[in-house]
Amino acid sequence: MIEPGAVATEFVANVRADRGIEALVAGTGVYQPVIGTCLERTAKSFSTAQGARECAQAVVVALTADEPGFRYRSSEWAAGFTGIELADADGSAVQDLTTSWLAE
């Protein structure tokens, strides 16, 4: 299993494309602050996204390993996040972490 973080691909360009997001967010009523925070955080995470080549290197390592592991992280960010995820049997730590992202 390859676990990447944000990867700078054409998806990022599509996320950043002018699609009238401001107008859509403005029409979300009481959810506007949370949606705005989520969009800002997402844009920030993609500004430091790893390159596709770096992610592909994790795939090559997995495919060429004599005794491949079950899980490969393609970045330090992914290792940190999935480390929390794996140690969190009931999901509450991940839920608390991601909820905090919306309160930033």
Quick one: tokens of 23?
A: 């107008």
Using CA atoms, how far apart are residues 93 and 104, in angstroms rounded to an integer?
Answer: 17
pLDDT tens digit sequence for 26-65: 888 999 888 888 888 887 877 788 888 999 999 999 999 9
- What pLDDT, on a 0 to 100 scale, did the predictor assign at position 44? 80
pLDDT band at 66 (very low <50, low <70, confident <90, very high): very high
| Rounded-to-integer distance, Cα 6 and Cα 27, Å | 28
Residue type, 56: A
Query: The tokens 């995470």 sit on which residue?
Result: 45
Asked whether residue 76 carries a pLDDT value surpassing 80, the answer given is yes
Tell me which amino acid residue 83 is.
Answer: G
> What's the pLDDT score for residue 104?
62
Burial class of residue 100, CB neighbours in 10 A (0-12, 13-18, 19+): exposed
Considering the entire predicted model, what is its pTM?
0.60
| Span between the terminal Cα atoms of the chain, in Å | 31
Phi, psi of 12 (to 5 degrees): -60, -45
Distance between CA atoms of 36 and 27, rounded to whole angstroms? 12
Mean pLDDT for the stretch of residues 66-84: 86
What percent of the chain shows pLDDT beyond 90? 13
